[in-house]
Each structure stands twice: as structure tokens, then as C-alpha cells.
A and B are shown apart, each in its own frame.
Chain A
Amino acid sequence: MSVVIVGGGHGGASVAMELRRNGYSEPITIVGDEAVLPYQRPPLSKAWLKGEVDESGLTLRPLQWYVANNVTLRLGTRVQSIDRDRRCVTLADGATLQFSSLVIATGARARCLTMPGANLDGILMLRTMLDADRLKQSMRAGANIVIVGGGYVGLETAASARALGANVTVVEREARVLARVACMPLSKFFTEVHVSHAVTFELNASVVRFVGDTHVRGIELADGRILSCDAAVVGVGAIPNDELAQACGIACADGIVVDAHARTSDPHVFAIGDVTRRPLERYDRQVRLESVPNALEQAKHAAAAICGTAVPPAEVPWFWSDQYDLKLQIAGLAFDCQEIVVRGDMATRKFSLFHLKGDVVEAVEAVNAPVDFMFGKGLIARRLPIVKEKLADAAVPIRETLA
């Protein structure tokens, strides 16, 4: 009996912790391709870039924890293949590891651009601590940084770069930032915040070429303009690392397909985190969620299934983002919503947007409004109907908005 965990990120380490918390006493091995102890990625675009935390501040557990809990770390190497019949994995160095249960937590990788010049020096991504280190070196005061992609990675990086005194332009293909992940009013709000911090936006703009000899000097847009820069940051989405699973015949569909308890199509193989496509019962659909809370929820489910302990409760998906002095917290997903109720005044930078289907909240986006977020998360889980007029009136205590 033993568990092998493929992937040494937040999800992989969390499975090991949950297994031990559930009383699992057999050997556990984590195989990770980064050479450092499992760490938190969310601060990379925020506190880490700004130099507010060091490596020990990102590390999830110190080395002693793994030693004391009989969790073997095989870091700086990767799993080459999975043999489901023999229940073993082969590592890059040829070693094989037997498992009774396998957990795939390989995450996602940053999508690369392929236009001419995309391989020049100074074109940076943000996924790992090494990426973030390279980025940090480019973000000197007065440096010109172009960020390609106005998603969370792009906007958080923009906020950190401004804090460090760099000049920032964000280039976004869509007509608004956060187009895939936030509603129109929230996109508009964040654009205005960044503009007030002197970030320049190029919306509806596509990059056709990176300019430079060996190091990037500029970005050419489809309209022919060239934005000069000292470094470019590309944050245009992520691709699930599901190739290992595909290669051994585990069902995949833009991510490893799992059930609500993180089981793949093979009963001995689990998968968790960004690499999975998972059911969301609350919304009656399959989704791929790129977030820490999602990985932690699935880690609990995988560990409970392996140990045969009680099934953990289903959670409402949630996300957060810190930019400047703003804390954005999102609960739920706004599928097919008919109406947005604004609670609070957006001009005060403390408000929340409730997405409704009828009088039931499906999602909430809260800016500097943690109470609305926490209560909204509870409303979503319980499908409790609310009174719209009360919800829209910030003077009515949130607990009194129930129908």
C-alpha cells in the first residue's frame, strides 16, 4: 500500500497533508518537477514581486514536516509515464514507483504565444517561483513593461509593477479586461482603478510580432503601432498538464475528467486541481477551475476516498485577487444569470455585485466587502432566495436581505 502524488504544487502537497490528517499511515511519495519545496503560487504576482515575502513565506510546510510525516519528496524530476496495469510510474531517471492509489496534481502551464519574436529574451511568463524571480529583476523603477493579457495574472502583475515604479501598458485582445472571468461592470471598475494608477490600456488589440534582436524592445500591434518596452509579460491563460493521463488512456477533455470525489476513469487514479475537469453539482455542469480553493477541496475528497473516511461537504467555488488596496473576492459562477444587483457604491471602492437567477444568488463579486462575500457564499450554497430591493440597499444589514 502506498500513494504516489504526481505534482509538487499546492494541490499535491495538500493531498499528502489531508491523507495524514485522515490517519493514512502508509508511505506517500510526491514527485515534483520544480526543485523547491511545495509552495503557494498566488503571492507570486503580488507580495513576492513586491519583495514583501521571501521563499520561506511561500513554502507550504517546512522540510521537517515531510520527514516527520514519512512523505518522500522526489523534487526536480518528473513522471515520464504511468503504467495502470502494473500500478507503477516511471520517472525521468528510469526509477519506478509502485502505488496502490495515484493522485495526479500536475496543474496547468502558462499558454505561450507563437507569433514572430515570441522567443526573444525578456518575454516572461508567470507560473513558477523562477518565472517570478526573472520578472522581479525586470521591474525596476522607470522600466517600460508591456503586459499581454488583461486577466488576473496580467492585472495583478500590473499593480505590482506600478508599486515598484515601472511604467505599464496592458494589451488585451478583447474589448475589456477580465473578459472571461468577471462581469462587465467589474471589468470597467478595474480598468478605471488601473488607469487611476497610470496604467495604459490597449483594448481590442492583438499582438502580431515581438520586436528586437536578442532581447525584446517592443511589441507590434495589428494596427501597425509599436509599443516599445524593456520587458514583456505574457499572461494569456493556462493549459492543463493532462498529457500523462491521456497517454495511459485515462479519460480527458481539456483536462482530466473526474467525478465529484476526484476519481478519474480509473478507480485507482485520482486527479485534483487545475488539471481537472470536474462536475459542479450546484451549477449542473463540468468545469475546469484554476484556483487554490478548488485544489484544496479536491485534495480533501481524494484523501477521504483513499482512506475510506467520511465524504467532505461540497464547497462553492471561490477566488480572490489583490490589486493595490483592493481585495476582490468572488464566490460562485455566474452562468445564465438574468440580473446584477449592486450593493454599495462602486465609487467608494467598497461594493459587491450579486448575480441573480430569479431571486436566487448564483455568484457574488465583492470588492473590499468580505461580509457580502462570506454571506453570499452561504446564500449560493443554500440557494436561499433574497429580496432584491433589500440586497441593493447597503443600509439594510445583509442578514436581513433574505426573503
Chain B
Amino acid sequence: MPKITYVSHDGVRRTIDLKEGLSVMEGAIHNSVPGIDAECGGACACATCHVLVDREWTDKVGPPSDMERNMLQFASEVGPTSRLSCQIRATKELDGLVVHTPTSQQSAF
């Protein structure tokens, strides 16, 4: 199973095994990784599962869809590698993926 590592804003690393096809958001929720709220449960409707993809992985993860990019405008601490983790699905190619969680999932205005 692909391994996914979540790095919290204060540098704590947590690595989990994620079944292929599940989302990086689901991996966090099922393993109680803090820093991801996911209020809508993965419907791309709330922007509370924001992560910053580690720079070494941005090419493999790919860019957000138009709707996702639009939703990201309302996440906090957004950077060039920001994604909504409910929209990133685990694949063999993403084995070893590292994502960083922001200090807050409070929406920006």
C-alpha cells in the first residue's frame, strides 16, 4: 500500500499506509492525523482539508481542477503547491508522498 507522510505545522511527521483509490484526506481522517477537518466528507465543498504538497511531489500529484483551484482561494496559508487532500487519490506512483498541513483550516475571506 502507498505510504503517505503528513507533516504538521510544528514539524511532527506521521506516516500511514493508504489503500489505493482512497484520498489523502481519508487517510488522515481514518488514522486520526490532526490538521485536516474535512467537514463535507470529501465533496470538494468546504475547503477544510487543505494541504501543501511537498515540492518534490508536485509533478507526480499534478495540479488542482478548476473547481478545486477556486475553492483553494478560501483556504488559509495557501502556497503554490496547495491542494485539497480530498481530491488526491492514492496510487502506486504516489508511494512515499509527503504533504504539509497548515496551522488552521479556518476559511479565509
Contact residues of B: prevailing secondary structure: loop
What string of 1s and 0s marks CB contacts (under 8 Å) between B80-109 and chain A?
A: 000000000000000000000000000101
Closest chain-B Cβ to A169's Cβ sits at a distance in Å of 27
Q: Which of A54-62, A131-139, A185-193, A356-364 makes up part of the contact surface?
A: A54-62
Contacting pair A374 B32 (CB below 8 A) = no
Closest chain-B Cβ to A386's Cβ sits at a distance in Å of 14
Complex Cα–Cα for A100 and B29 (A): 29
Residues of A within 8 A of B46 (CB): 293
Any chain A CB within 8 A of the CB of B78? no
Query: Which B residues, 32 to 49, have Cβ-Cβ distances below 8 Å to chain A?
Result: 32, 34, 39-41, 43-47
Residues of A within 8 A of B44 (CB): 327, 370
Complex Cα–Cα for A374 and B26 (A): 23
How many residues of A are counted as interface, with CB atoms below 8 angstroms from the partner's CB atoms?
28
Shortest Cβ distance from B37 into A: residue: A296
Q: Tell me whether A296 and B109 are in contact in the complex, defined as CB-CB below 8 angstroms, given that A61-B29, A374-B73 are known contacts.
A: no
Any chain B CB within 8 A of the CB of A219? no
Closest chain-A Cβ to B109's Cβ sits at a distance in Å of 4
Residues of B within 8 A of A377 (CB): 107
Contacting pair A374 B43 (CB below 8 A) = no
What string of 1s and 0s marks CB contacts (under 8 Å) between A276-301 and chain B?
A: 00000000000000001100100000
Any chain A CB within 8 A of the CB of B71? yes
Complex Cα–Cα for A168 and B24 (A): 36
What string of 1s and 0s marks CB contacts (under 8 Å) between A300-340 and chain B?
A: 00000000000000000000101000010100000000000
Residues of A within 8 A of B107 (CB): 374, 377-378
Listed A/B pairs (7) with beta-carbon separation below 8 Å: A21-B34, A57-B22, A68-B32, A293-B39, A329-B45, A374-B71, A375-B109
Report which A residues bind B (CB closer than 8 A): 21, 40, 42-43, 56-57, 59-62, 65, 68-69, 292-293, 296, 320, 322, 327, 329, 368, 370-371, 374-375, 377-378, 382
